[in-house]
Amino acid sequence: MRIAVFDTKPYDRQALEAANEKAGHDLVYFEPRLNRETLDLAHDIDAVCPFVNDRLDAAVIEALAAKGVKLITLRCAGYNGVDLAACDRHGIVVTRVPAYSPHAVAEHAFALIMTVVRRIHKAYVRVREMDFSLDGLVGFNLFGKTMGVVGTGRIGQAAIRIARGFGMKVLAFDVYPDPALASELGFDYVPMDELLARCDVVSLHLPLTATTRHLINERTLSIVKPGAVLINTSRGALIDTQALINALKDGRLAGVGLDVYEMEEGVFFENLSENGLQDDQLARLLTFPNALVTSHQGFLTREALANIAETTLGNASLFERGEPLPNRIHA
């Protein structure tokens, strides 16, 4: 198949080219994201391969269908940027990578936790400036603390295992609780409000849907345990950014670690060092010394990139051969 791959960086191409040695597709790479302004870049294609922040609304889907595109093979787990109903109307199949490396994301969540809790980012900057003082760097032990895991899918489960390894008690929330899993991994399911009120660390591992958008908001932040740390490596819009800023201003949170941000499109994955940041809310977040933001890099390991590429192209190969598609998404 001839596949137009959008929103590509060097690490994407390297992984895709390695996977394509076996798959044998004709890959055409484009650096811009796929949206209304860029969809005319690709010609004579059978499929498109977008990433997490590409925007495939109804107008884009209609234009792709007019080009003869029959497959959208996402190289990510999230699909909230794709109008699935429009795809159904135009007969376009959508596939994704549902679980590229749960360990990569869960481990990054704990990298954020440890950095925020032990003030590693502040200590690094100080030492680079020959300041070896310790004032303001007091953290707390994770051992014996309670961690709240919101969402017990594969990434949430990996995070629970890590937390248990640290000697933490784990409480979890999921709309589909699994008692057998809780017994196996040694955690308890509780209502969301109870989790927020009792946990020292809260880590989000949920997809973005109409019901999870702004799950963390003014009300839920008001019941968070004082001095808790909030971590988000899932989807930015799970958190109401202005409410988070207010909670940081009021001192309700000891810290926050974000690998995602609700308005990250056009910012994350880009080098803005020459142009400056135009997003006032993100700029305000970055002023808090107890807020740590990374640029959606939770997936960025060699193992995860290889898995993403292999699954993405594997989905295309299955479609081309007319075989069942276990990773297909339906409206």
DSSP summary character for residue 34:
P
- In angstroms, the CA 158 to CA 155 distance is 5
Q: Which residues are CB-neighbours of 197 under 8 A, at least 6 positions away?
A: 223, 224, 225
DSSP summary character for residue 204:
E
- Residue 226's CB is within 10 A of a number of other CB atoms, namely 9
Are residues 34 and 56 in contact, defined by beta-carbon separation less than 8 angstroms?
A: yes
- In angstroms, the CA 144 to CA 170 distance is 10
pLDDT in tens, 59-118: 999 999 999 999 999 999 889 899 999 999 999 999 999 877 899 999 999 999 999 999
Are residues 208 and 162 in contact, defined by beta-carbon separation less than 8 angstroms?
A: no
- Residue 11's CB is within 10 A of a number of other CB atoms, namely 11
**What structural domains and CATH numbers belong to the chain?**
2-100+301-329 (3.40.50.720), 102-293 (3.40.50.720)
pLDDT in tens, 257-314: 999 999 998 789 888 888 888 899 999 999 999 999 999 999 999 999 999 999 999 9
- Cα pseudo-dihedral 313, 317, 322, 327, rounded to 10: -30
Amino acid at 227: G
Which residues are tagged catalytic?
Answer: 235, 264, 296
Residue 312 in tokens: 């993405």
- In angstroms, the CA 257 to CA 112 distance is 5
- Indicate whether this model's pTM tops 0.85: yes
